[in-house]
Amino acid sequence: MKYITLLILILVVLGGLYLAVYTVDETEQVIITQFGKPIGDPKTHPGLHFKVPIIQKANYFHKNILAWDGESGQVPTLDKTFISIDTFARWKIVDPLKFFRTVNNVTGAQARLDDILDAAARNVITSYPLIETVRRTNRKLDTFEMSDERIEQKRPLGEIKMGREKVIEAIMNQARPKLAMFGIELVDMEVKRLNYVEEVREAVYQRMIAERKRIAEKFRSEGRGQSKEIEGEMEKDLKKIRSLAYRRAQEIKGKADAQATQIYAEAYGRDPGFYSFLETLNAYRQTMDESTSLVLSTDSDFLRFFEGYEQKP
């Protein structure tokens, strides 16, 4: 009986010791509450700690950076342009005691972040033109349509006085004091997505398509002009080549005719009678065949080589 009682006593002591001990790691911080009320300072250093079992409770909170993802909503800018903006932020708990007393847990903190950050983003963005939220600097846009001076004059973008970074900084400066009341520090905030609202998006797309078509037609027209210019140069070069080739051919032909005439003249000079005989035979060949009939006198000069010719039986 004594052993059983001793065993029960040991178990009770071990159980009480187990309930009295808690650990804190590098990513956590702990608030000890007694009957729901916080007591003592927050435990922010990692290690082994003790509390009164059953009566006291360890409430753990994150020590590292947490994420907040806002809801996409419609916001009018200063120049009356309705846009859809989606933001996100990073935050952390810097005062766990104040955090516990005000929002109690992360779920409550997320609700507060929704209200404060969305309102701050709306208030700041509506105070500036659209270009301030869209762009960061006044650098020249690296788009082919901006090379068209007429388009750049038709659609001036305006000068940026703040830029997106300053706008985001203004949102954070407006939200930080309000979040500090809950023991929360706003670490960073950015715009995840920004676009026109659905009602004007289609009109913007159609305008962009029309501009691209106009620019494409301009390039096509310039291309057709260059094509005609190239074709004209090619035709001129071709005519020049043909002219040079024709002149060269005529020169060669003239030289050949001159050589032929010279050869004929030399042959004629050596034996005029034989030359006359060959030319007459050539004339016979070209003017007469088996179906040709000629009626000429025997003393005709054309048939002089037939004088004295007798056909043998």
Higher pLDDT, 308 or 57: 57
CB contact at 8 A, 50 and 30: no
Top-tier CATH class for 66-202: alpha beta
**DSSP H helices in 76-148:** 96-102, 106-125, 130-134
Burial level of 119, CB count in 10 A (0-12/13-18/19+)?
middle
Name the average pLDDT for the chain.
Answer: 82
Ranges of each domain in the chain: 2-62, 66-202
pLDDT digits (tens, 9 = 90+) for 15-66: 656 678 888 888 899 999 998 888 988 988 888 888 888 888 889 999 999 9
pLDDT digits (tens, 9 = 90+) for 190-247: 988 888 777 767 777 787 888 888 899 999 999 999 999 999 999 999 999 999 999 9
CA atoms within 13 A on the CB side of 269: 6
What is the reported pTM?
0.59
pLDDT at res. 157: 54
Q: How far is the C-alpha of 81 from the C-alpha of 209, rounded, in Å?
A: 20
CB contact at 8 A, 184 and 92: yes
pLDDT digits (tens, 9 = 90+) for 253-278: 989 988 888 887 777 777 777 777 77
**Which DSSP helix (H) or strand (E) runs through 41?**
strand 37-43
pLDDT digits (tens, 9 = 90+) for 151-206: 444 444 567 888 889 999 999 999 999 999 999 999 999 988 888 777 767 777 78
